[in-house]
Amino acid sequence: MKTGRSGETGMNVRTIILVLSVFFLVAGQRVFAQGAEPPAKRATQMALKLKGVLSLTDGQTAHVVEIMALSRQRAVQDLLTYHGNREALVRAKWERIDATHREIESILTGKQMERYETLKRDSRERFRERMKERTGNLQESF
């Protein structure tokens, strides 16, 4: 049996690696376990918001919940598929958003569609403003 500092250091490193491996395994399972419920909850929240703004029927609202839940599932799948490839992930995100909009638009009436277009336009504008703020803050810091 080996004694001395080099043997103890090897054992300590292995112990640390083992502990960290278990930690990340458990933490990863918790993240995915927690991630299973929020997409459905978020989908319902989004559908109820649209129901109020667009005066959706109960049937339309249920359909929007399904569309949004599928979109969230696709988002999780995209994260796993494009992990480490930021450009592909961003491209997939925008394609998913466009597809989700098209699916929602397919169930709307003419008047609802007008309001939905306004919501999308306002959302894009808020996004652009946030990006300007972030870019401005970055430029000021250099």
In the chain, what are the domain boundaries? 1-36, 38-141
Report residue 98's pLDDT band, with 50, 70 and 90 as the boundaries.
very high
| The model's pTM | 0.65
- Going by pLDDT thresholds of 50, 70 and 90, the confidence category of residue 110 is very high
pLDDT digits (tens, 9 = 90+) for 53-62: 999 999 999 9
78: amino acid identity, one letter: D
Q: Name which of 76, 80, 74 is nearest 98 in CA terms.
A: 74
